Amino acid sequence: MEMQRRTLGRSGLEVSVLGLGCMGMSWSYGPPKDRGEMIALLRAAVESGVTFFDTAEAYGPLENEALVGEALAPFRGQVVIATKFGWAPNPGDTNRWTALNSRPAHIREVVDGMLTRLRVEVIDLLYQHRVDPDVPIEDVAGTVKGLIAAGKVKHFGLSEAGVATIRRAHAVQPVTALQSEYSLWYRAPERDVLPVLEELGIGFVPFSPLGKGFLTGAVTAETRFGTDDFRSTIPRFAPENVQGNQALVDLLTRFAVAHQATPAQVALAWLLAKQPWIVPIPGTTKLHRLDENLGAVRVALSAADLRELEEASDRIEIRGARYPELHERLTGR
């Protein structure tokens, strides 16, 4: 299958029009999945034309980078792997990384481990996972600039950063991509972030483009999440809020029927139609969901479709916060 490609902003970094988020293979969505099955899934994604894979040091921690590195080793030079720094374990808390750390010495130290786990000689795209209020963003950008000069990193990215931080970082080292949550369920980036990205020539990589599975229609008010599933802590996934938010899935389902598609495909097609420099990274651990997601590139939404979809979604009151308060405080800084 010949996959369409997109360039992230004015950086020249070309990737498949849809990437693959790898976090759930190792972390956050229930217990880690079977390693052999996940390697097969990652390689199937490459065979289907996906060239953009997203991981992070914190996923596992460390385990997801090693998984992605092993799976994609045969395709070195054919794929783009993005990873993220910015966390460190609290003393005695090696499984749940809760301490931010973007100090320059720490960044330089962890990158060497990333290169080993990913089995690469250079990291294609290195994001700061969350903005660290204790470290000036100029110091972070300058450190990555040095890593680029040293040949260890190709491109610099930010995740969930606010507009002022994006501008300050970009002035030191051009930012190739911003990765933040964006979907029909969470449209806040449209207000301030997207205009700045367009102005500066920065690509946008929406994570959770399917609302952590909600926009697929697979989650109902009866769905219960285990304590090892991050969604068990998210207000939007409380049963009463899921029931209230079902109207958005119903809207997507109506469009899906009209376009002979699925709700997930319509949700992804909407994002793809927003800007040519937007590259969503839906995550999955199932081959049939991978195939479904990739089918979104064949769903053509007209300008009238987009307008109708957005006007209808604007009338739906979204219930529940997208994050617990502790996590939300780490975003938009």
Q: Are 210 and 268 in contact (CB under 8 A)?
A: yes
DSSP β-bridge partners for residue 126: 83, 156
Tell me whether residue 254 is exposed, middle or buried, using C-beta atoms within 10 angstroms of its C-beta: 0 to 12, 13 to 18, 19 or more. Answer: middle
Nearest to 130 by CA among 191, 73, 180, 91: 180
User: Dihedral of CA 42/45/47/49: which sign?
Assistant: negative
| CA atoms of 214 and 232, how far apart (whole Å) | 13
Nearest to 97 by CA among 64, 53, 71: 64
Q: Which of 59, 127, 182, 186 is catalytic?
A: 59
| CA atoms of 28 and 82, how far apart (whole Å) | 18
Q: Catalytic annotation on 127?
A: no
Contacts of 231 (CB under 8 A, 6+ apart): 29, 212, 213, 225, 237
Task: Give the tokens for residue 167.
Answer: 């501008």
Q: Annotated active-site positions, please?
A: 59
